[in-house]
Structure 1
Amino acid sequence: MADNNLLDYIGDKMDALNFDGDLDINWDKDAHVFELELTMYVDATGDFEVEDQDGQEIVDGEVDYSDAILFYDKTRVNGDDYKDNYLTIFGFDGKKGMPQATLDALFAYLQSLLDAGQNALFDFVDGSSEAETFELTFDQAAFEAELAKQPAKAQTTFIPYPKY
């Protein structure tokens, strides 16, 4: 890929995902962070009571679930301060950016997470799930397995922070 910075690279990877929901990237230039927002949608049929994150009951209509991944500049931000607010967090090395392998592994894993998550949300909303609440869970071991599959060159190739 000819992408030359994190924003473009993440955007291209997002575009390549096969996902019926919404994927958005928010860039806070001052804080040097990116948020990758994931939103899934399912129609509620009225056969099962669902409460949204604000405690409002949805009988018929669209149920949505949102979560996000944080990419942060380790030289400016302590990611541990934010890890409880995100599906997962990834630090990058200032202007140097992130290893291509990390991004490629993330998006390979993200496709399977989104597929499984969408199915689990359908099951939750139609009442066929035993779960009391729905949330996505980032499987660090599955991500690490994807990372191990990445070529050595991608481990040492960095996608830099944008120079805007």
Structure 2
Amino acid sequence: MKKQTMLTYLDERISKKITEYDVAIDWDKANHTIEVIVRLFGENKSLVEIDDAQGVASEEEIIEFEDGILFYNPQKSTISEEDFLAVIPYEGKKGISRAMVDGFVDYLNEVLDQGQSDLLDFLADDSEEAIFELVWKNEDLLKHMEAYQEKDGDEYLSYPSY
């Protein structure tokens, strides 16, 4: 059996734990990054005009919101942190701890649960919010990771070879 990498393990954990949301993984071999792309959908019942991040207005009946979390190699990746909900470094070929991936998937599911609720509130007629965005707190991610680390130790998942 082939050894699991951070990419294969991440894909497996997301498939098992995050079943209510649209999540995709994009591996950019040249830039040494793995992006987890999330999409939330909400019904725009009152057909309120909504501007996206690029300023494009939409009155569509179904609104799609997309964001991404990036795993990157600090020594080799070229990234722009503000383009992502969160950025998480990994340790080159060594990869990332299994506890971090497990904690990440649990926390991402919580972020998406809260985000879906917030999006539906945002689209409701009585919403007072001017902007919708997902909320990510690295300290909450670390709490999830530490819980797995206490239980499972420091096993690492290597970065995939191509």
d(CA) in 1 for partners of 2:65 and 2:47? 19
Q: How far is 1:60 from its partner? A: 4.3
Choose the corresponding residue for 1:140, options 138, 141, 144.
Answer: 138
The answer as to whether partners of 2:46 and 2:125 remain within 8 angstroms in 1 is no
Structure 1, unaligned runs of 5 or more: none
The percentage of counterpart residues that share the same residue type is 26
Query: Pairwise CA RMSD of aligned residues?
Result: 2.1
- Report the equivalent of 2:7: 7
Change (3 A) 1:152 1:21: closer
The correspondence of residues 63-74 of structure 1 with structure 2, limited to 5 A, is 63-74=63-74
Give the TM-score, by structure 2 length: 0.88
Give the TM-score, by structure 1 length: 0.87
Q: How far is 1:146 from its partner? A: 1.0
Q: How far is 1:53 from its partner? A: 3.1
Change (3 A) 1:3 1:40: farther
Residue 33 (str. 1) matches residue 28 (str. 2): no
Choose the corresponding residue for 2:109, options 108, 111, 119.
Answer: 111
d(CA) in 1 for partners of 2:73 and 2:54? 31
* 1:15-40 deviation line (CA, Å, top 9, x unaligned): 12334332111111111111110011
Residue 149 (str. 1) matches residue 154 (str. 2): no
The correspondence of residues 46-61 of structure 1 with structure 2, limited to 5 A, is 46=46, 48-61=48-61
Q: How far is 1:156 from its partner? A: 1.6
Structure 2, unaligned runs of 5 or more: none
